Amino acid sequence: MAQITTGLVGNPTTHYSFSYDSSLQRTASNPTGPEPARTNALIAACEADFNLMSGWFGNPALDYNIPCTVQVTQNGGGASWGLGGGKLGVTLNPGGGDVTMCRYLLVAEITEQFMREQGRGWYGTNTEGSEGEGLSRFLAARFLAINGLGLPPAGFDNSNAWMNSPRNDFVNNINKTDDGPDAITGCSLLFIYYLFSQLRYTVDQIVAAGAPTLAGVYNNLTHDPGDPFPYFKALVDSAYPGTSTIAGPDLDNPFPLAMPLQVWTWDGWGWGTFDIAFPFGRSVLNRHSHVEVSVSELGGQPLDYPFIGAATMTVLNVAPTDDGVVHVRFEIQWSSVLQWRATFFIA
Amino acid sequence: MQVWTWDGWGWGTFDIAFPFGTSVINRHSHCIVSICELGGQPLDFPFIGAATMRVHNVAPGDDGVLHVRFEIDWNNVLQWRATFFID
């Protein structure tokens, strides 16, 4: 069949030139054909959607000629794009989907153009790569949410591909040429939701923090120079152990999640006022963790019996940090060394 | 159990009334509090500096307010973060 523009109104727009497959045209012999009504609804909405995307990326200059071509086919399965000689061509394969599906697919494709134009690392090598694929799926879902259009279409969820896998580290290890739905891109999508719904960064902040890895995006956002993967994975594992998956209703975004309360004890020696750095590790806490500490003297045989003697013991400052360390200042009012036990509640 | 943080400014010995609300606490609630100094850019990095900080009295009320007495051993204003476990 051939691409046609019969019945399209307001075409082209500033940024898009639409056509659809002739087999989709509603005719006497094809009374259920969705076109041209569906593409006309897409034409009516596409420029506002474009402006939303452009705003997320700080309105960068386009590196292709406008309008680009957008071909709506009779196929299902998603969308794709090709770029050559300054000409961008987008193919939408919405199957029997409605105009919302078409808008969702177009946003997912055009955000990838903005990533390349922005040039801060989201885009991969000749394709969006795993990091960019995660961002395009995230932004397409945010487009739906902002416009009150619900969740991504059935079958377009991706986070569970990573949940139902060995959960390897694709936050630091980006695949610059992987743009398919798989565990790598699923990890990317889930981590971006972690930045958005758990750490509460805005879409604009996340997009502007682009870096060659998702760990770099995190570093740019939080000013924590360390590795975010251990805490991210520990948080997800605590709520979804093993290979258990997100049940929904949003199959891609389980956040915010509460880190389960952990209790620890640590024994030491000291007197006077002194600081101790307790290295719990980055999978246990970060600077936004909630930490409470108590201290008592230890005695008995074995040296394992908390008691209160003549020495007053006080917990002073308690400072958790992004490197997984809790710094605590203690005061023990005694003139010689005593054995103490500190108890930690960490959430 | 709920966990909260609250940031503020102060020095010396001072009382703060934290209005969590009646849906969060009453006078029988169990509340423990810790305190540390904040620094960095953004002003969001707990650390221990020269100033010793103490939590003294902790008093939950039926009006949903938690009254806490702090002591910051410093001679001018510092940024602090209080962390609360409430059950």
pLDDT at A169: 98
End-to-end CA distance of chain A: 60
Element (H, E) at A203: helix A203-208
Q: Is the dihedral of CA A31, A32, A34, A37 positive or negative?
A: positive
pLDDT at A77: 87
Contact B85 A345 (CB under 8 A): yes
Chain B residue closest to A261 (CA)? Answer: B1
Q: Note the Cα A150 to chain centre separation in Å.
A: 18
Q: Which residues of B touch A (CB under 8 A)?
A: 1, 3-5, 32-37, 40-42, 44-48, 51-54, 83-85
Find out whether A102 and A117 touch, Cβ atoms under 8 Å.
no
A87 vs B: CB within 8 A: no
For all residues of chain B together, what is the average pLDDT? 95
A318 vs B: CB within 8 A: yes
Name the residue range of residue B22's domain: 2-86
User: If you average pLDDT over residues B11-28, what whole number do you get?
Assistant: 94
pLDDT at A272: 97
Residues of B in contact with A345 (CB under 8 A): 32, 85
Q: State the complex-level ipTM.
A: 0.91
**Is pLDDT at B41 greater than 90 in this prediction?**
no
pLDDT at A259: 86
Count of domains forming chain B: 1
Cα separation of A46 and A44, whole Å?
6
pLDDT at A64: 94
What is the largest distance, in Å, between two alpha-carbon atoms of chain A? 99
Closest CA to A324 of A269, A277, A292: A277
Find out whether A316 and A309 touch, Cβ atoms under 8 Å.
no
Taking phi over 0 as left and psi of -120 to 50 as alpha, with beta for the rest, A52 belongs to alpha
Number of H helices, E strands in chain B: 0, 7
pLDDT at A127: 86
Q: Burial, B7: exposed, middle or buried (Cβ in 10 Å; 0-12, 13-18, 19+)?
A: exposed
Tokens of A198: 């758990």
Rounded to 5 degrees, φ, ψ at A111 are -60, -30
A345 vs B: CB within 8 A: yes
Residues of A in contact with B47 (CB under 8 A): 319, 321, 327
pLDDT in tens for each of the 347 residues of chain A? 799 999 999 999 999 999 999 999 999 999 999 999 999 999 999 999 999 999 999 999 889 999 999 999 999 989 999 999 999 999 999 999 999 999 999 999 999 999 999 999 999 888 889 999 999 999 999 999 999 999 999 899 999 999 999 999 999 999 999 888 999 999 999 999 999 999 999 999 999 999 999 999 999 999 999 999 999 999 999 999 999 999 989 999 999 998 889 999 999 999 999 999 999 999 999 999 999 999 999 999 999 999 999 999 999 999 999 999 999 999 999 999 999 999 999 99
